Structure 1
Amino acid sequence: MQLQSFVYDGVWFDGPYSKESVLATKNFQGLSDDIYVSTFPRSGTTWVQNILIGMLYGLDVLENNENFEMNKLTAYLEITLGEITGCDLANQMVRRPRLLKSHQPTNLAPQEIFSLKRKNVVVFRSPKDALLSFHEFYHKNTFIRDFASPTLGEFLDRSLAGQVLNGSWWLWAKPWLDFCRANPDTNLMIHYEDLKEDFAKEIRRLESFLNLSPMTSETIDRLQALTSVESMRERLDTEKNYKGMGVVNKGEANRWKTEFPPEYVEKFDALTRETFGDDDIVAKFI
């Protein structure tokens, strides 16, 4: 497949995607017990996927590094891998419930999330940290390296204009936030920063949302260790998974405070306030 940039329904795409795979994701027909993970890129997606793999399929799956294959455990719906799409991978999955990941905004996300009330875990992260990580990911990931911006400032300008993969963080976040609040029974909001601050508390929220039996505190500690940056990097930086693609980065919160250009802090925060107004959520994102 020829890697390309294109805009579909107002959303920017770079790399291993096509208009057909994006539309297939929007129209995806799943199973009644499917669990979606919806995130903007670089918002803790891989971390939450690994957490859910451990919670749903057992911690032994996370411990078996030699046989761990992410694409068989959770499908990234809109990606294309040669002749295979993420939707094809989803339809080949055997374990139930299936874990299905998408980075698409609400207008392109699987519409059955809305019409059929599928269970959906939506992960939010500060836009400054998410896009700082995204800039690095563009340079590390072989699929999108050709679309990388030479400097952080140029990438942040593109981000503010919505001209990065999956479009504007702000246009992604506001509709998802509104939908989660309107449909809390089927959509759980997880904040990356909250997961960093109190892992056990967020695991309890996930257990309740997914109707899972409570883990012991010792098991939660074990899950946290198995989903640490070091553990995930060892498991995922392999030939079977994402070797050399920089999928697992530094895993830090508030790194932007030391690495973000001051003039862009002002621009990001201004757009965040413009997008969310006087909503208390602003404190999570600035």
Structure 2
Amino acid sequence: MPRPHRKFIDILEKSMVVADTMDREDLMFTYKGIPYPTTLCSYEVFKAMESFEARSDDMILAGFPKSGTNWFGHILLELITTFEKKTEVEPTIYGEEFDEFPYLEIGDTEKYQRMKKIPFRRVIRTHLMSQNLPKSVFTNKAKILLLLRNPKDLATSFFKFSKVMAPFPTYESWDEFFKDFMIGNIPWGSYFTYLSEWNKHADDGHVMPITFEEVKENPLLGVKKIAKFFELPLTEEELKKVAERSSFQAMKNNSKETHGVFGNVLFRKAV
């Protein structure tokens, strides 16, 4: 099983504590017209991120919040772990530096310099719209798995999530949340704008769209598509085992070990 994101868990814990002391109107700030959670992101980090140099061998998971980033991230790390054990190469995802990458836009201003030291096969997650990623991601053609989810399900999950995630503004009712969701007044902005902007890269050879629904319906086929896209050749039996270890129930059962106290928050129902 892939190692837990200890550093990222620590960032989440600190952000929850700080957010609990803040007024609702201070929980978000706007950068380039898009709202972000104040205790997780900052102007300084976004400016520092501009210097980040992506590599052609980077493996990027791009998905709006609640589109399955944690689930797909787990699948990819299981694939990498299985491949590296099979080929007996030195593990690339178990070092201390691994924790730098849970989300590209979350961390401190020095993280992008530390990331330069991480060797081949960097796994990067992000909720950012395509136009707000560092330009090097596209010029260097890093491989991007674009995660998509039915807007109705995503909105429902986001609403439930906002009730327990202190850095996100909470809502008294679904109607109140729905108004903000439709106009993009939620963390990371409008899902519809997100889809529209990423659609401009739909034909890019280094971008592969995949939906939450198709992988949920046929996990093994989804695992096979992800493995093929990231060039991780595994046997049918190995792929089956990855699919089994990456089932929602298996992840939920191990969530305390992999995500600490946030396990129940991040892995709710998947419905």
TM-score between both structures, scaled by the size of structure 1: 0.74
For residues 123-167 of structure 1, the C-alpha deviation after alignment (integer angstroms, 9 at most, x for no partner) is 0001111111111111122433xx111212111110111100110
Instruction: Tell me which residue corresponds to 2:203.
Output: 182
Partner of 1:76: 103
8 Å CA contact retained: 1:76, 1:87: no
Between the aligned partners of 1:115 and 1:59, the Cα distance in structure 2 is: 28
1:230 corresponds to 2:249: yes
Match in the other structure for 1:157 = 179
* Alignment match, 2:216: 196
Mapped partners of 1:45, 1:127: distance in 2: 15
Pairing 1:29–2:56 present: no
SS at match of 1:76: coil
- TM-fit CA distance, 1:92: 6.2
Contact kept in structure 2, 1:123 and 1:189, CA below 8 Å: yes
Task: Tell me how far apart the structure 2 counterparts of residues 70 and 150 of structure 1 sit (CA, whole Å).
Answer: 40
1:27 Cα shift? Answer: 4.0
| Alpha-carbon distance in 2 for matches of 1:86, 1:159 | 31
AA matched with 1:10: G
Matches of 1:91 and 1:141, distance apart in 2: 31
Q: 1:228 to 1:17 in 2, by over 3 A?
A: same
Note if contact 2:58-2:142 (Cα within 8 Å) is conserved in structure 1. Answer: yes
Matched residue SS, 1:251: coil
Please report how far the alpha carbon of residue 85 of structure 1 lies from its aligned counterpart in structure 2 after TM superposition: 7.0
Q: Distance in 2 between matches of 1:241 and 1:84?
A: 23
Read off the aligned partner of 1:188 and give its amino acid letter. M
Show the counterpart of 1:111. 135
1:48/1:70 CA distance change after superposition, 3 Å: farther
**1:114 & 1:124 partners in 2: Cα distance?**
19
- Deviations for 1:229-256, whole angstroms, at most 9, x for unmatched residues? 2222233334x6341461112112xxxx
CA RMSD of aligned residues (A): 2.8
The residue type paired with residue 241 of structure 1 is H
Note the residue ranges of structure 1 that are not aligned, 5 or more in a row: 62-66, 253-286
Structure 2 letter corresponding to 1:40 = F
AA of the residue aligned to 1:148: T
Q: Distance in 2 between matches of 1:87 and 1:127?
A: 32
**Out of 140, 150, 153, which is 1:129 matched to?**
153
Identical aligned pairs, as a percentage? 22
Choose which of 26, 29, 40 in structure 2 pairs with 1:6: 29
Unpaired stretches in structure 2, ≥5 consecutive residues: 1-14, 20-26, 86-93
| Structure of greater relative contact order (alpha carbons < 8 Å, 6+ residues apart) | 2
Moved more, 17-26 or 185-194: 17-26
1:34: how far off?
1.1
Answering whether residue 229 of structure 2 is matched by residue 209 of structure 1, we say: yes
Give, in angstroms, the shift of residue 84 of structure 1: 6.8
Counterpart in the other structure of 1:219: 238
Residue of structure 2 in register with 1:241 after alignment: 259
| Shift of residue 47, structure 1, vs aligned partner | 0.8
User: Relative to 1, partners in 2 of residues 1:125 and 1:139: Cα closer, same or farther, differing over 3 Å?
Assistant: same
Change (3 A) 1:45 1:74: same
Contact 2:159–2:177 (CA under 8 A) maintained in structure 1: yes
For 1:38-117, what aligned pairs fall within 5 Å after superposition? Answer: 38-58=62-82, 72=99, 74-80=101-107, 83=108, 87=112, 90-91=115-116, 93=118, 96-117=120-141
Q: Superposed, which structure 2 residues align to 1:136-151 within 5 Å?
A: 136-144=160-168, 147-151=169-173
Aligned pairs, number: 238
Aligned equivalent of 1:19: 43
Q: Which amino acid aligns with 1:12?
A: P
> Is the CA contact 2:149–2:212 (under 8 Å) kept in the aligned structure 1?
yes
